Structure 1
């Protein structure tokens, strides 16, 4: 055994869908047979399973560890290493740069050996190294061609509206074409609730209570529900690389499956997710962007109330108030955070009274006249969108007939596509605003305070209405010795209304 040349074995599989490592196991057997045939002895095996050698950014831990061993000439335990054996060079490398690094490592010392299943190769020969580099380049080119063929195949199927492969999507039956009546109804209701301002967590909690699970048997979470509602499959469309698949005329391709909601509804939900942003008052008193709020809150005004106690320099604290537990109170208390948490810790206010005052202020404004007139009239940009889509379609037809130059065509296409994208986004926002207004203005006082009605508003929906009404509510101190925790003075609440 001591006379045999000590070498390492390397095996790699680009994909292991069965998760049984059968490919790398088979390669390991072949490598042992090759080593025995050549009078070599494998002292260690390096493996990269389910890892591509062609993709950018993929780190092959086994390959990198092998290079370190080849440079050192020894394993970490001191065992001598004098070469490497693989099944084929494309299992070793797919990129010219990796091939160069491998050759540099194995030839860093004289007398090293290398072989694949066909036999040994002299890597010290310039001709062999050049052939190896050329093989890596050709292998890389073949990988790119395969990817392009696969991409074209997927796009062609998508343009024909063919149902994609994969797991059954939630909302459809096993044929992935026909709607599941219970699941599709739940999705349809969730869409309406999102448009009405309900939070994702609140909807998920309801689904969990009903015993719904994903098609893979997992519990629903807010993120998985959001991914479901982001999928254009709901309205019969499909995305590839982040873009809706369209036909030559620029019209979204309708898939060969039943849609759960209308395209306008799906676009409105996307507008909610993309643009559920208003303004908020920051700690410095400046009005800035309002972050999206998808949490299921317990209290009505957390994150909306701000501390109005003056600091030593005359500016207001402006820290967000939060609810703190008090054993001697039968109601919740909004209080400023401590100094170590960015507040002043010197202001608190009775929560139930503040909630009631702010609620009544919002309801009174809605009942007297909406904060901003709900856009129930038809969207004003419909004709502009239709004209732009018609122009793009006619321009494309002229270009195919070679009646328009390439330079003019691509310049105009870029302009028209940008305009169409802007108008579609405006249409979605209009749809979302219209549905929100209709949902929230229907008998809102009863729905606001009801605890039993099916159409009652939950905390997340009330917060959505309040966030659209105010930038913030600043709570000013009531004065020393007045017991601010139990005192309520409506004049000490400053409502920062939205003017837009």
Structure 2
């Protein structure tokens, strides 16, 4: 490139992964390498970009500083107007591990003639097709290595599961630090609770007893209904384990027995599994309506979406959550989760006012559709579901009485479980459609305002009319004057 010039403005880019951080090499070390390279080449660093602990290999990960750097390169200057004529990175694989990202970077850098690029080894001419091709090839190799490591990790995890070996993480409640030996007092509580569930005692009653006795989780916290249910439903109690949501089984379909001490028998856990499985997701009630065990406490939770744009121009799109705010009229706020929880934390609006506006918009839209909805006929799968459910119950009873072997029970039960799950999901969809159609064709506004619709039914009607509502940010949370123009409903056809 000829003799180094005394002042050539360039930017420095560093990325540090979790693995690198564990090795003790921080962002400061990477910037130091870049600074030494700049001095050696006679270039001047005018800005530093860093994406800390953000993988360059995953498609869904947004690296804000990388995206900002690409924009500045293409523009030829920083947001404050300071010119930029090149980039220094520690190494190509710290810059990009996806071919698309590398190509966008090269396009931005070479948008004008004379741009410079260097890593710790020295300067490189990205205007040369050979150099660009080698860089792209290096990105592909790097991506292949990442995938190899991910596959090895998954195989190792699966192999440990199939051998019944405990994996990393904190000790489970009921076992000691080695995850194999029982912790007597905790195990006794689990055994007692599990057998009471089988006997018909409610989870609420068991939870109240545990709280009164000050039984704590391994983190020292009071038990919640969800955490207690998950502890009771964990196949670890009988010596089994799940991997990716399925029981780990051998070639014959029989669950693999782990190396830890069990708390209850496999037959007892299967009874618990049958009880809890019947309660998962929406439930069809006797009157033909649908109840949802997981109905949120607020009308538009999960329906509202954050519309704040990010550095790349795309909106955040995270579901807004409700939070109690006594200082607001209505007492609650819909807000975007923090960055640590997967959102941007940049949008917050008065919950009661949004509920009121969207309710009126939805009711008006549904009233327009009256007469256009036809109630469907009776669901055709009722007979098959009833037959399979009775057959599965008899099979379980026969196995629990040792009338059939494991080798006969587990494969057949697994096949029936899969089909029953499909049928239940189909029935729920069918009945939900009927329920929605009935609500829409009647006096929906009268029933809504009279209090005859519960929260689950109201949410079902809203989802009948809307895909989502995008909430555009105004700043200041719920304290700014309410502006309905900043709510963008996405209507269903």
Is TM (by shorter chain) over 0.5?
Answer: yes
Contact kept in structure 1, 2:398 and 2:404, CA below 8 Å: no
Is residue 13 of structure 1 aligned with residue 16 of structure 2?
Answer: yes
Match of 1:448 in 2: none
Q: Secondary structure at the match of 1:157?
A: helix
Is residue 177 of structure 1 aligned with residue 180 of structure 2?
Answer: yes
Is residue 63 of structure 1 aligned with residue 45 of structure 2?
Answer: no
Is residue 280 of structure 1 aligned with residue 285 of structure 2?
Answer: yes
Aligned ranges 1:271-420 → 2 under 5 Å: 271-276=274-279, 278-280=283-285, 287-292=288-293, 379=397, 389=407, 419-420=412-413
Contact kept in structure 1, 2:207 and 2:225, CA below 8 Å: yes
RMSD: 4.0
C-alpha displacement at 1:223, in angstroms? Answer: 2.9
Match of 1:267 among 266, 270, 281: 270
Contact kept in structure 2, 1:388 and 1:420, CA below 8 Å: no
* TM-score with structure 2 setting the length: 0.57
Contact kept in structure 1, 2:85 and 2:116, CA below 8 Å: yes
How far apart in 2 are the matches of 1:425 and 1:64? 44
Aligned ranges 1:29-48 → 2 under 5 Å: 29-48=32-51
Contact kept in structure 1, 2:395 and 2:413, CA below 8 Å: no
Contact kept in structure 2, 1:232 and 1:266, CA below 8 Å: yes
Stretches of structure 2 lacking an aligned partner (at least 5 in a row): 297-355, 361-389, 422-493
Match of 1:421 in 2: 414
Cα distance per residue 1:249-298 (max 9 Å; x no partner): 322111111112222333333333332265337xxxx6123323799xxx
Match of 2:453 in 1: none
Match of 1:76 in 2: 79
Contact kept in structure 2, 1:200 and 1:294, CA below 8 Å: no
* TM-score with structure 1 setting the length: 0.57
Q: Secondary structure at the match of 2:167?
A: coil
Count the aligned residue pairs: 326
C-alpha displacement at 1:384, in angstroms? Answer: 13
Distance 1:198 1:69, change over 3 A: farther
How far apart in 2 are the matches of 1:385 and 1:23? 63
Distance 1:272 1:79, change over 3 A: farther
Larger radius of gyration: 1
Distance 1:216 1:117, change over 3 A: farther
Distance 1:195 1:213, change over 3 A: same
Distance 1:128 1:205, change over 3 A: farther
Is residue 25 of structure 1 aligned with residue 43 of structure 2?
Answer: no
C-alpha displacement at 1:102, in angstroms? Answer: 0.9
Q: Secondary structure at the match of 1:173?
A: coil
C-alpha displacement at 1:178, in angstroms? Answer: 0.8
Match of 1:232 in 2: 235
C-alpha displacement at 1:196, in angstroms? Answer: 4.6
Contact kept in structure 2, 1:236 and 1:254, CA below 8 Å: yes
C-alpha displacement at 1:162, in angstroms? Answer: 1.5
Match of 2:56 among 53, 61, 67: 53
How far apart in 1 are the matches of 2:398 and 2:408? 17
Match of 1:249 in 2: 252
Contact kept in structure 2, 1:236 and 1:259, CA below 8 Å: yes
How far apart in 1 are the matches of 2:247 and 2:395? 28
Contact kept in structure 1, 2:20 and 2:26, CA below 8 Å: no
Cα distance per residue 1:384-429 (max 9 Å; x no partner): 99689459xxxxxxxxxxxxxxxxxxxxxxxx96x5414468999x
Contact kept in structure 1, 2:267 and 2:400, CA below 8 Å: no
C-alpha displacement at 1:80, in angstroms? Answer: 1.8
C-alpha displacement at 1:376, in angstroms? Answer: 9.9
Contact kept in structure 1, 2:49 and 2:65, CA below 8 Å: yes
Q: Secondary structure at the match of 1:45?
A: strand
C-alpha displacement at 1:195, in angstroms? Answer: 3.6
Stretches of structure 1 lacking an aligned partner (at least 5 in a row): 296-338, 343-371, 392-415, 429-500
C-alpha displacement at 1:131, in angstroms? Answer: 0.9
C-alpha displacement at 1:57, in angstroms? Answer: 1.2
How far apart in 1 are the matches of 2:156 and 2:395? 43
How far apart in 2 are the matches of 1:223 and 1:265? 20
Q: Secondary structure at the match of 1:48?
A: strand
Q: Secondary structure at the match of 1:211?
A: coil
Q: Secondary structure at the match of 1:100?
A: helix
Contact kept in structure 1, 2:91 and 2:120, CA below 8 Å: yes
Distance 1:382 1:228, change over 3 A: closer
Instruction: Single out whichever of 262-271 and 150-159 deviates more from structure 2.
Output: 262-271
Is residue 134 of structure 1 aligned with residue 137 of structure 2?
Answer: yes
